[in-house]
Amino acid sequence: MAELIPYAACILIAFGIGSNDTSNALGICIGTGIIKLRKAVLLFGCFVLVGIVLQGQRVINTVGKGILEVDLSILSVSLSISAILIILSNWKKLPLSTTQVIIGSLTGSGVASGIDVNLVSLFKIVFSWIISPLTAFVFAFLIYRLMEKTLSRLSLFYIERTLRFLLLMSGILVAYNTGANELATVLGPVIYSGLISKMPSFLLGASFVFLGAVLLSNRVIETVGKGITALDPYSGFAAQLGAGSCVLLFTFLGMPISTTYCIIGGISGVGMVKGMKTVRTDLIKRMIFNWALAPSVAFLSCYTLIRILRYWS
C-alpha cells in the first residue's frame, strides 16, 4: 500500500507540469493570437511524450542516481511534498520550477535520513539553475538583434507569415524539452527505485501532463504569455527560441533545469532590447523570490517531515 504514495505523487506532479508548463511552450503563441488554447494543449501533450521518449534518459540518470540513493520513505515524502507545493503554486498563478522543488525535496529527505548526498552533482545542478535563465536571456537578446538586421528587411506580409510558423515551431521545441527535461526529472527517482519501468512511466506521466494542461493551464498562461512584457510574433519568437535552445543545450548535458525560468529569461531578454520600461520588473522580482523560496521550502519541509517520521517510528 505504501508504494501507492509515490505513484499518486508523480501523477499530481505530472498534472502540475501540464497546468504550469503549457504556458512555457505555447503561452506566447496563445498570447499573440497564433493558436487557440485547445489546439495548443493537444500539441503540447504530444510533444511532451516525444521528448521524454527520445531524449529523457540523460536527465533521468542525473536525478535518478546522480544525487543520492532513494528508498521508499524518501521517495514518498519527497514526491508528496513536491506535489503539494507545485499544485499550490499553480493555483496562485505563479510559475514554479518543478525541477527545483523535486531536487530540494530529495536533498532534504536524504540529509534527514543520513544518506550521502553527491555534493558535486548537486552543485552542478544548482549552478545550472543560475546560469540557464541568463543564457536564455542572452540567446533571446542576440536572436532579436539578428532578426532586426535580417528578417526586418523583408516585406511585412512575408515577415508575419514566416514568424507565425517559426513561433509555433519554437513552441513545439519547448514542449519537447518539457518532456525531455522536466518530466524526466519527476520520473527519474521512481524509475531507478524499481517501482515502475520506463515506457509505462513515460505513457502515464505524459497522459497526466496532458490532463493538467486541459484543466488548469489557462491560469498561468495569462501571466507568462502577457504579464511580463508586451509580445508580438516578432519578439515572441526571439524569446521562445532563445529559451528553447537554452533548455535543449542543458538537456544534452543531462542537467535538470527550469523551463519556466528559461522562458522568463528569454522574455526579459527581448524586453531589454525594446527598453526596460516595457518590462514589468515587479513581476520578475516576485518570480526571482519564488525561484529562491521554492527549493528552500521543499528542502526544509522534507527534512522536517522525515525527522518526525523517524522519531515516531
Ordered by start, the domain boundaries in the chain are: 4-312
pTM of the entire predicted model: 0.86
Share of the chain above pLDDT 70, in %: 86
| Residue 93: predicted pLDDT | 63
Which of 29-35's residues contact partners 24+ apart within 8 Å by CB, and which partners? 29/167, 29/168, 29/171, 29/236, 30/221, 30/225, 31/221, 31/224, 31/225, 31/226, 31/231, 31/236, 32/167, 32/225, 32/231, 32/232, 32/233, 32/236, 34/164, 34/167, 34/168, 34/233, 35/168, 35/171
| Residue 153: predicted pLDDT | 80
Question: Please, which residues have CB within 8 angstroms of residue 110's CB and are 6 or more apart in sequence?
Answer: 67, 68, 70, 74, 116, 117
Under DSSP, the state recorded for 182 is I
Q: Looking at residues 303-311, what average pLDDT do you find? A: 89
Residue 72 has pLDDT above 60, yes or no: yes
In this prediction, residue 217 has a pLDDT band, given cuts at 50, 70 and 90, of low
Share of the chain above pLDDT 90, in %: 37
Q: Looking at residues 291-295, what average pLDDT do you find? A: 82
| Residue 264: predicted pLDDT | 83
| Residue 129: predicted pLDDT | 92
In this prediction, residue 160 has a pLDDT band, given cuts at 50, 70 and 90, of confident
Q: What is the pLDDT of residues 221-238, one digit of tens each?
A: 555 544 545 566 778 788
| Residue 106: predicted pLDDT | 94
Q: Looking at residues 35-55, what average pLDDT do you find? A: 89
Q: What is the pLDDT of residues 97-124, one digit of tens each?
A: 889 999 999 999 999 998 889 999 999 9
| Residue 313: predicted pLDDT | 67
Residue 258 has pLDDT above 70, yes or no: yes
Half-sphere exposure of 133 (CA within 13 A, CB side): 16
